Structure 1
Amino acid sequence: MSYADIFVYGWSLNLLMFFINLTIGIRSMNSKTKEQLLQENKILSRLKFEFDKYYPYRKYETIISYLMPFTAFFRVCYRLLEMKMFFSKNIEATLFDYMIFKYENDINIAKNKLD
C-alpha cells in the first residue's frame, strides 16, 4: 500500500465521520420545535462564548483535523464512544444534555488548569 492510498483512505474516513456528525445533528434538530431550538441555542451560545475564551483556537484545530488523514476519524470515534457512555449512564438524556455536559466539563478543566 502506497502513501497515497493511505492518505485517500484516511480522508475518506474523515469524510465519513463528517457525514455521521452532520446526520446526528440534523436528526436531533428535526426532533425539536422552533422554540425549543431557539432556547437551546441561547444556552449553548452562552456556553460556547465562555468556551472560546479558554480555547480560542479550537475552531482551527477542528478544521485541521479534517484535513489530516485519520485524525477526524479517531477524534469523532472517541466522541461517539464518549456519547454512548454518557447516554448509557443518563438514559433520558438528549444530545443537548450531552453538549451542555461537554462544554461545562471542558470549561471546568480549563479553569482548573489556570488555578
Structure 2
Amino acid sequence: MLYLSQVLGLVTLALWLYCVFDVITTPDTLCRNLPKIGWVLIVLLFPLIGSIAWLVAGRPERTQAVTRPSAFPEYDRPGRFAATSPDDDEEFLRRCRERAEEQRRNAPGKPQDES
C-alpha cells in the first residue's frame, strides 16, 4: 500500500518531469521574467519549488499561443493567387489552345507548311 509520502513523491516527480520538458520545448522568446537557461536551472535544481515557479511565473501566458509555421508558407502570403476553375479563365484556355496548335505544327512526321 502506498503511503502519503510516496504518493506526494510520485506527484512531485510527475510535475517535475512535465515542467522540465515544458521549459525545454518552450521557445526562448516566450519565457517570462527570466531567460530560458535560468528557468531550466531553477527547475532542475529545485524540483518542487522550481516547477511551481515555472508554472506561475515563467510559462507563456495562454493568450500568447505558440504559432507554428505553416508547412506551406506561400499559402499564408496576403494577396496570393487563388486557384479558380480553368473553364472560367479565358486567358488560360486561349494559351492552352495556342500551345496545342503549336505542338500540332511541330509534331514529327507531318510535312511542314511551306507558306
Bin the TM-score by the shorter chain.
0.3 to 0.5
Q: TM-score, normalised by structure 2?
A: 0.34
Greater relative contact order, per chain length (Cα 8 Å cut-off, separation 6+): 1
If each structure's helix is expressed as a fraction of its own residues, which one has the higher value? 1
Q: TM-score, normalised by structure 1?
A: 0.34
